[in-house]
Structure 1
């Protein structure tokens, strides 16, 4: 099992020194990766289920934050949980991700993308909420095409994106393309993960039976697409108070990575203590 840690500026604020200290402490503790979430824009009345999101929450740009963390660390991998892919142009995003990967020494390796669930956010970005799944599929294909393309350029003709003889440099460091994990709690997300993803990262309040069915669907979709289902990583959310028994149960379900949410407290010292205690408990 691999263990990563999440840092949410909506909860902890945008103090750069605090983010840097958190990332360094997580690295020193032995955590594999640092994850950040994304909301591009909020608005009064935006809600996730029955929870209304305060529109003033400071969701900082996750890639900019990861760049800052990378400059202050040496080893820890960089992840998103999740980046709202339909609201980014893939030509620009491919360049940004490759640049972070090169400047960090090859650590932009846990990109997780999702569709977003706020219709107003889609409208603000000029995206038809109903088509965001197809847009995300195309965006994944475009980024991989650009990363793999050479000086002769590559072309793409899709429903949402098209170009001819386009070159994108720099390339990701030492790999043909950056891994792309797919987040989401729907069966459509599971199919997308199997067909296009390097990993599946479901969230949400799903029953154990539905979680198992979605993992089976992701693996079956990989097989149908001619891909190796055994190569699909399976990431889940966890918490810093988890016991070894709980982690063993998740491993038995096929989970290969846990992304642990930070403690719900404004005191940075409590965060660091919680990371240290977890690292000791699991001998990271």
Structure 2
């Protein structure tokens, strides 16, 4: 089982020393990766499910934050949870992500994308909310096409994106481009993960039966697309105080990575929580035991 941490700028703030201190301490504790969330734009009355979002929450740009973290750390992998793919042009995004991967020595390994849940956010970006899933599917194809293309150029002709003879350099350091995980809490997200993803990272508010059904959907979609379902990673949210029994139950469900976060914005208490979790699970190079 792998273990990662999340840094929530809306909760913890955007202070640069706190961000990098959190990341460095997570690295020292042995966590595999640091994840950051994204919202491009909020608005009064924005809601995710039953939760209303304060429009003044400071959702910092995750890729900018990860570039800053990469410069202050050595080993910890970089992740998004989630990057709202329909609101990024994939030709520009391919360049941003490849550049971040090169400058971080290949640590942009846990890119997780979603489609967003706020119609007002889509409207602000000039994106039709109803078509954002199809737009995300095309964007995934474009990203992989550009990362895999050579100096002769590549072309694409889709519903949302169209170009010919385009070259995108530098390339991500790993052959074939960056791994790309799909996040979300819907059957559509699960199908997308099966067709296109290297992993699935579902949301936190799902009934156990729905979780199992979605993971089955991911695996079935991979098989139908001629892909190996055993190669897919399965990431889940956990809690910083979760017991070993809970992690073992996750493992029995096929989970390969657990992401946790500190429950406080106070740096000393954050450090204590991360250190306690790392000791409890014997973390080393991002991997822990289930013995507790």
CA apart distance, 1:51? 1.3
- Indicate the residue corresponding to 2:133 in structure 1: 133
CA apart distance, 1:261? 2.2
**Pair 1:157-2:137 in alignment:** no
**Pair 1:185-2:182 in alignment:** no
Stretches of 4+ aligned residues off by more than 6 angstroms? none
Q: Secondary structure at the match of 1:127?
A: coil
- Indicate the residue corresponding to 1:39 in structure 2: 39
Structure 2 Cα separation of the partners of residues 266 and 184 of structure 1: 26
1:231-270 equivalences under 5 Å are 231-263=231-263, 265-270=264-269
Structure 2 Cα separation of the partners of residues 27 and 182 of structure 1: 24
- Indicate the residue corresponding to 1:15 in structure 2: 15
Q: Secondary structure at the match of 2:238?
A: strand
Residue range with higher mean Cα deviation, 172-181 or 88-97: 172-181
Q: Deviations over 1:56-75 (max 9, x none)?
A: 00000000000000000010
Q: Secondary structure at the match of 1:109?
A: coil
Root mean square deviation of aligned Cα = 0.6
Structure 2 Cα separation of the partners of residues 120 and 262 of structure 1: 30
- Indicate the residue corresponding to 1:199 in structure 2: 199
- Indicate the residue corresponding to 2:287 in structure 1: none
How many matched pairs? 283
TM score, norm. by length of structure 1? 0.99
- Indicate the residue corresponding to 1:278 in structure 2: 277
Unaligned runs of 5+ in 1: none
1:73-84 equivalences under 5 Å are 73-84=73-84
Q: Deviations over 1:203-249 (max 9, x none)?
A: 14211111111101100000000000101100000111011111000
Structure 2 Cα separation of the partners of residues 250 and 97 of structure 1: 30
Structure 2 Cα separation of the partners of residues 183 and 209 of structure 1: 18
CA apart distance, 1:177? 1.1
Unaligned runs of 5+ in 2: 284-292
Structure 2 Cα separation of the partners of residues 151 and 205 of structure 1: 45
Query: Using CA pairs below 8 Å that are at least 6 residues apart, which structure has the higher relative contact order?
Result: 2
CA apart distance, 1:176? 1.3
- Indicate the residue corresponding to 2:173 in structure 1: 173
Structure 1 Cα separation of the partners of residues 217 and 117 of structure 2: 22
CA apart distance, 1:22? 0.5
Q: Deviations over 1:114-152 (max 9, x none)?
A: 000000000000000000000000000000000000000
Contact 2:3 2:31 in 1 (8 A): yes
CA apart distance, 1:155? 0.2
1:46-125 equivalences under 5 Å are 46-125=46-125
Contact 2:184 2:190 in 1 (8 A): yes
